[in-house]
Structure 1
């Protein structure tokens, strides 16, 4: 699929040339997230969980194709893609309501599909006409069917919003109350948005490996390293919650603090590279009260291995200087943008020319995010821009001073043509990534940073050839 094909698939195939139209209508060219029902992919990311979508024809399929297929070609998983049941609500459901249709669909799903958890998600039609989804789901719950519901009509927000609604629905309707003692050394991790983040599977695998390495029992909750509903049921027993990223997961952690009395630790930046990862692990260990000797032994072993690879890499880095980028731009969600920028500045010495955050973080979190970017390094501060519209983003980048050397853009498929116009290189690190096939690749931690280095400089060398 070409970049033009993807534009047609993901929306807004026609370029907007009159910016005054955009300002009047608040249109967004080349979207960078899904709608709230895109949280069906968060359900799919839980082993043996299946979403049931109550929405118009094509809504579920479009969310899958956008977030999972033309974004690293990640596949459908156990309950995604063609497996996901949908009411395909039509004019009849608009006029008469869709409760009866949804009841029929849930009953049929239980007969045909086997799962440990079912999550009913709503689209715009049932939320607008006022279908009582709770009343539909409740009889099944009373029959001990593992099923919950979340209202995820598009006007509620994007798939980040939907993700928080789904996690809360599972916690409140499925996990339920708990009055036992916490298990020392057990942590619930809230971080990357599954599927939307192209590398979420590999990244969660690495995060779990790191936390387990310093002595924690980890409920990673999503992806191939999760134990599925058993981990979700174990959420209340955890000693604490860990939020990794500037804002996603904070709402869930605060809810768990209120519901179960669990404290939480907030680490705003994804750890990428030895320096950031070692500091991150020490902070987590101190919060959890872990054995310091074990923690330092693990970090020392990881550091030694990491810097041996870096030592070999420096032969290339110090000699192959022609054509390599000096300035960069990052265009993506707040979590990856912050982690990448810290790594590129502090590990590689590259200069940030522009950082644009595209995931529309809540207004109350933007001050924290801006402060984190202003403190990238002792002598480096970045003024981050918050923008969703690709037309505006690309205009900003065209006017950015990248110096006399070709720039490198860390962005998405939407930036490929722009990188060519700027005579630079592009590394796709976020949604949509339609020129990457991703299985378990990771860019976080010690190991992920080495993979990222390979990707960056293979791309740079290829672009200069």
Structure 2
């Protein structure tokens, strides 16, 4: 395919990238799901892969995604030519034994990479030998060439559910009233996952629920994982990630699934979400409304003050009227609904970067319809940075002031269209992120702060005289 045909093909919404090289890739390989294991308190990944693979995956996801940091102590076989020729099963068996001696954990997750997959190492057989000795250990085939860290994440989660959660001793689990499992953002891939999961937990607890948030510092670790079968509801807050896991739990434990493709941002979306959850689990409606009322009083107090700036500074600053997004689908949908539905911006170019399974794309695209009454978005599925940039810069704009939400790589595109850039997706190298959140009630206020600080800063840099006018 020549260059011009690449550009022509990428110009239409809903374009699905063809196989081949990808410029400025926005995800890791399936082995990168080791970051999901690291995000579980009490779990340690053990990687069976080539030299440096584990280190590169974690530091790529943690380091250039808001400099999140994190505990990185990952045993690896670091297999080389010898294991390619003779197999690496014995080396893996030796590594597991050594790890058990020096690293204490509640759960060990063995992940295999490309090389053992190519040479045919029977990783499952090695791990099963340790399972028969009552070692809390599971295995997951996260071969790098089979998928991304998104699909690898689901592979690892299913391995933990099938080989660890489902094998817990004792009587069959009983459903606990008000206990819910939440499946949402991909740890480390999204720069704000820690703060976002904490806010999601906070608002669900606010209406009286007990929450298995499962990942990050807001979670109680593997105790929550062991409690998964007792939940009365699985909540999927994502266009597609986690949906297959929730459906699997529905098959095994009979747990119903509440799928909300858009993570709620702002009072309107969050209140609607909480009411829907409350109805699904039979929560006390008065308690639900009391919590929503308290949160909305605080939220709208701040929003009232923000409205003074938003309505009164249009002549001083060039406030954006069109939102453009380059991000994974979960954040792209949440941002689009908030800025279009609540703030009245027009939808521009929306590029979804995580290369989701073909089977999920129609449903994802449908979720972008009706961002506001009579206003639809038309997302393009495009993991290639070159194509994404062309989609943004080639859009005709008449009388629009654009803003761009994306990654560090969108700086050139933002400059080309004169748009402020707010980094919200991987890679993010101009943001240092600790506990910041952009979802729910409190997160929406932080999102508005960050967005319009960027807008004001760019306006004053372009026209310094506006700074004190």
Fold shared per TM-score above 0.5: yes
CA distance in 1, matches of 2:18, 2:3: 11
- Please show how residues 14-93 of structure 1 align to structure 2 within 5 Å: 18=3, 26-77=20-71, 80=72, 83-93=73-83
Distance 2:2 2:59 in 1: 28
Report how many aligned residue pairs link the two structures: 446
Aligned partners of 1:318 and 1:393: how far apart in 2? 32
Equivalent position of 2:340 in the other structure: 345
Give the aligned partner of residue 6 of structure 1. none
Give the Cα–Cα distance (whole angstroms) in 2 for the partners of residues 189 and 253 of structure 1: 9
Q: Which residue of structure 2 aligns with residue 3 of structure 1?
A: none
Alignment correspondent of 1:316: 309
Cα shift readout 1:400-423 (whole Å, capped 9, x = no counterpart): 133335421000011012212222
* Counterpart-to-counterpart distance in 2, 1:198 and 1:414: 15
1:166 counterpart = 2:156 = yes
- The aligned counterpart of 2:282 is 289
Q: CA deviation at 1:363?
A: 1.6
Pick closer, same or farther for the CA change 1:48–1:338 going to 2, 3 Å: same
Q: What SS class does the counterpart of residue 40 from structure 2 fall into?
A: coil
User: Which residue of the partner structure matches residue 379 of structure 1?
Assistant: 374
Is the contact between residue 328 and residue 402 of structure 1 (CA under 8 Å) also seen in structure 2? no
User: Is 1:241 aligned to 2:241, yes or no?
Assistant: no
Aligned residue in 1 for 2:398: 403
Separation (CA, whole Å) in 2 of partners of 1:250 and 1:116? 26
2:255 is aligned to: 262
Greater relative contact order (CA < 8 Å, ≥ 6 in sequence): 2
Q: Please tell me the root mean square deviation across aligned C-alpha atoms, in Å.
A: 1.6
Identify the range of structure 1 (137-146 vs 117-126) with the bigger mean alpha-carbon deviation: 137-146
TM (norm. structure 2) is 0.92
The secondary structure found in structure 2 opposite 1:94 is helix
Moved more, 170-179 or 295-304: 170-179
- Shifted more, 370-379 versus 212-221: the winner is 370-379
Q: 2:354: which partner in 1?
A: 359
The Cα offsets for residues 290-324 of structure 1, whole Å up to 9 and x where unpaired, read as 10000000001101100000001011111111311
**Per the alignment, do residues 21 and 403 of structure 1 end up closer, same or farther by CA in structure 2, a change over 3 Å counting?**
closer
TM-score by length of structure 1 reads 0.93
Q: By how many angstroms is 1:130 displaced? A: 1.0
Q: Secondary structure at the match of 2:164?
A: helix
Deviations 1:383-440 (A, max 9, x none): 1111111111111111113333542100001101221222211001111111110000
Asked if the contact 2:327–2:352 (Cα under 8 Å) also holds between the matched residues in 1, the reply is: yes
Determine the C-alpha separation between the residues in 2 that align with 1:18 and 1:65: 33
Q: Distance in 2 between matches of 1:334 and 1:24?
A: 19
Q: What residue is the counterpart of 2:266 in the other structure?
A: 273
Report SS of the residue matched to 1:30: coil
Which of residues 443, 453, 458 is equivalent to 2:448?
Answer: 453
Corresponding residue number in structure 2 for 1:12: none
Q: Against the structure 1 CA distance between its residues 249 and 300, is the aligned structure 2 distance closer, same or farther, given a 3 Å change threshold? A: same
Change (3 A) 1:24 1:219: closer
Structure 1 residue runs of 5 or longer lacking an equivalent are 1-15
* Cα distance in 2, alignment partners of residues 287 and 405 from structure 1: 41
Q: Compared with structure 1, are the counterparts of its residues 142 and 287 closer, same or farther at alpha carbon in structure 2 (3 Å cutoff)? A: same
* Contact 1:64–1:76 (CA under 8 A) maintained in structure 2: no
Are residues 374 and 24 of structure 1, via their aligned partners in 2, closer, same or farther at CA, if it must alter by over 3 Å? closer
Q: Does 1:202 align with 2:192?
A: no
For the residue of structure 2 that corresponds to 1:329, the secondary structure is: strand
Q: Tell me, in whole angstroms, the C-alpha distance in 2 between the residues paired with 1:403 and 1:93.
A: 61
Which deviates further from its counterpart, 345-354 or 432-441? 345-354
Shift of 1:146: 1.2
CA–CA distance in structure 1, aligned partners of residues 175 and 160 of structure 2: 20
2:433 counterpart residue number: 438
Match of 2:467 in 1: none
Pair 1:390-2:385 in alignment: yes
